[in-house]
Amino acid sequence: MRTVLDPLIALAGVRRALVIGADGLLLEAAGHFDPSLPPDSYAAQVVGWVVEASRAIAPLAWDEPEQLVLEGAHGAILLRRGPGSWVAVEVSQGTSLAELTIPLEAAAGRLERLLRGLETPNAPLPSRAPRPAPASVHKRDSI
């Protein structure tokens, strides 16, 4: 699961990256988290917002969203749907959101391949040399 988040957390402007189950349970998180909003609570809040947003557009008979962006004055959260889960990144203010679309899509694709067993979890990334995990990687039970 770390192979999904490592390329994301290495990007400029990315504060934290998470893989969250569709039910709001945190699967894995990387980056720095405020003690007042630890990874578990953060993941639940993110999915809570996704549910509220989906509920808001439900009367329009639209399908479940594939990608969501919530931009605030102090930063933004980008989410990409994966199989039964969400890949999320929080970026600091001023980060180009357009430049994160492809890495996020790639991360969701990597997650999907990983879950289907097409990729070994510890395989090195093709574009980068393997590197140790960030000190603040929070690991949860794998799915």
The binding site for other proteins (CB under 8 A) comprises: 34, 37, 42, 45-46, 48-49, 52-53, 55-57, 59-60, 62-77, 90
Please state the closest distance from residue 132 (CB atom) to other proteins, in A. Answer: 28
Q: Among residues 48 and 83, whose Cβ is nearest to other proteins?
A: 48
Three-state DSSP class for 26? strand
The strand pair at 67-72 and 75-82 is best described as: antiparallel
List residues bridging with 30 in a β-sheet: 17
Between 56 and 118, name the residue whose CB sits nearer to other proteins.
56
- Least separation in angstroms between residue 72's CB and other proteins is 3
Min CB(139)–other proteins separation in Å: 22
State which residue, 60 or 129, has the beta carbon closest to other proteins: 60
- CB closer to other proteins, 22 vs 69: 69
In the chain, the DSSP E strands lie at 14-21, 26-31, 67-72, 75-82, 85-92, 138-139
To the nearest 10°, report the CA torsion of 9, 11, 16, 17: -60
Q: Minimum Å distance from CB 97 to other proteins?
A: 8
CB burial of residue 124 (10 Å; 0-12, 13-18, 19+): exposed
Of 78 and 114, nearer to other proteins (C-beta) is 78
Residue 92 CB, shortest distance to other proteins, in Å, is 10
The C-alpha torsion from 29 through 25 and 47 to 92, rounded to 10°, is -10
